[in-house]
Amino acid sequence: MDHRFFLLSATALISVAPSLHATTYLTADQARELMFPGRKFTHEEVLLTPEQVRAITQASGIKPQSTRLQLWRGADGERFIVDEVLGRHEFITFALGLDAAGAVTDVEILQYNESYGSEIRLAAWRAQFTGKHDGAPLKLDQDIQNISAATLSCKHITEGVKRLLATDAIVLRPRSA
């Protein structure tokens, strides 16, 4: 076996590695309709400034993955946000619903394609976020119970919600007011 075998193997692996498509459980529209049935929303793409990224990171302890944020605003001040967090291999797409005061109304998992950990889609686990607001601890095994076979996903979704609550308080709510 030649050393080039390993280079060739690596190249072959990169070339032929299956292009996996994440399982889509809900589209953004479906999730929004589930959270806010029959309500009218307006979509906007929010671009975070470097100062806002710094402020969010400082407030939540988690740096935003992207400076672009997909936001829908409801007529009565509700907000619906779609964002991503890292899973074990791929990004997990999730949606966060907030009432006019900035409290969590619901969390939905839109896309998930990991071998293990899809238990985070269970309603009982997601319900732990309901009523949480910016400043809540949002820490595994403190105010959010972990699912032991899905620790990484639980941790990253929890951190994602915490980061979006800080984003809402710093960027979105002041604009609503």
Partner 1 sequence: MRLYRTPLRTGVLAVCVAVSLAHAPAGTAGEAVFGYIYTTDLLPKGKSEWEQWITDRRGQAYSRFDDFKLRTEYEYGITDNLQLGGYLNYSYLWARGNSVRHVTEGLDVPWNHDAGQSYRGARFDGVSAELVWRVLSPFKHPIGLAFYLEPAFGSRERGLEFRTIVQKNLLDDRLVLAANLMVEAEKERGSNLVDPGMPDDMPDSSRHKATYAEIDLGASYRFASHWSAGLELRNHNEFDGYSLAHSHQNHSAFFLGPNLHYGGKRWFFTLSALRQVHATTYTRQQADQMHSGMLFGDEHTQWDGLRLKVGYSFE
Residues in contact with partner 1 by the rule CB under 8 A: 1, 3-7, 9-11, 13-14, 17-18, 20, 62-63, 65-66, 86, 88-91, 113-116, 140-141, 146, 148-152, 155-156
C-beta of 7 vs 100, nearer to partner 1: 7
C-beta of 28 vs 152, nearer to partner 1: 152
C-beta of 61 vs 135, nearer to partner 1: 61
Shortest reach from residue 166's CB to partner 1, in Å: 16
Shortest reach from residue 35's CB to partner 1, in Å: 26
C-beta of 27 vs 146, nearer to partner 1: 146
C-beta of 108 vs 158, nearer to partner 1: 158
Amino acid at 123: A
Shortest reach from residue 31's CB to partner 1, in Å: 22
Shortest reach from residue 116's CB to partner 1, in Å: 5
Nearest C-alpha neighbor of 95 from the set 171, 29, 175: 29
Shortest reach from residue 63's CB to partner 1, in Å: 8
